[in-house]
Amino acid sequence: MKVGFIGLGIMGKPMCKNLIKAGYEVVVCDFNKASVEEIVGCGAIGAENGAAVAAQCEVIITMVPNSPHVRAAALGAGGIAEGAKPGTILIDMSSIDPTESKAIGAELAKKGIEMIDAPVSGGEPKAIDGTLSVMVGGKKELFDKYYDLLMVMAGSVVYVGELGAGNIAKLANQIIVAVNIAAVSEALTLAKKAGADPELVYQAIKGGLAGSNVMNAKVPMMLERNFKPGFKIELHIKDLNNALNAGHAVSAPLPLTGQLMEIMQGLKADGYEKEDHSSIVKYYEKISNITVES
């Protein structure tokens, strides 16, 4: 099977490398030519645009920042729809607005192109080691057909429902992650202000009910002052914006999501939008006038 891959950013590049390592023939394109050259050096075939990718592949994966980028990659000039044959499958692994997933899928269906949405969770570390969590929406038979392909990049691949359901699950995930990081930041700020060592507080509580994968991943980064992005603040802002839009569309109140959006907007105003979302701790540090470190 020849697989197309469009989008070679922080997540897409290691995901693509794992496909190549697994023996898939991969055709790639990206606006970043250096990234294309790197992946071609790993054994991929470079292509000029999405249409050129689609002309060579029966299945194409997109991993791009947001809804407009998926629409452009799929339906824009030089996009997938221009080069794809009827029966081609688009697996969109980007995190986008679920209503756009449905709309893009409907446009592609007019051209005989199927689509499933399969956003991921786990950040750069899990993209590198191939243990991402993948949430899939679309036809069940397509999920079954491409399950093994997705598992090359993942530790778990779960079918959620119809097209768009994958992104609904991802938005739920992003709400929980953001609120969890904020809760950890708030708690460690309390510990520091009260004179306790944040590192020791973390060690004391991580094995109990408060412990979580988020805590274990992000607290060491906070304490070490390492904010190299595994997942950028600006991308989490994008996800929370999509969550708020989706919530408003179905009259689902999201008060905690709204608060986290304002916290992240504050971080963006302070110039931290390119940093890891563990930088949420910097919001608490600013308003508390302390630094959370041992």
Assess whether 111 carries a catalytic annotation.
Answer: no
Please report, as a single letter, which amino acid is at residue 207: G
Q: How far is CA 28 from the centre of its chain?
A: 19
Residue 252: helix, strand or coil by DSSP? coil
Q: Which of 126, 170, 192, 218 is catalytic?
A: 170
- Contact by Cβ (8 Å): 4, 49: no
Which residues does 176 contact at the CB level (< 8 Å), separation at least 6?
A: none
- Tell me the two tokens of residue 64: 């791009």
Run of H or E including 193: helix 165-193
- Contact by Cβ (8 Å): 191, 201: yes
User: For residues 201 and 187, what is the distance between their CA atoms, to the nearest angstrom?
Assistant: 9
Residue 45: helix, strand or coil by DSSP? strand
Q: How far is CA 100 from the centre of its chain?
A: 16
Q: How far is CA 269 from the centre of its chain?
A: 23
Which positions are catalytic?
170
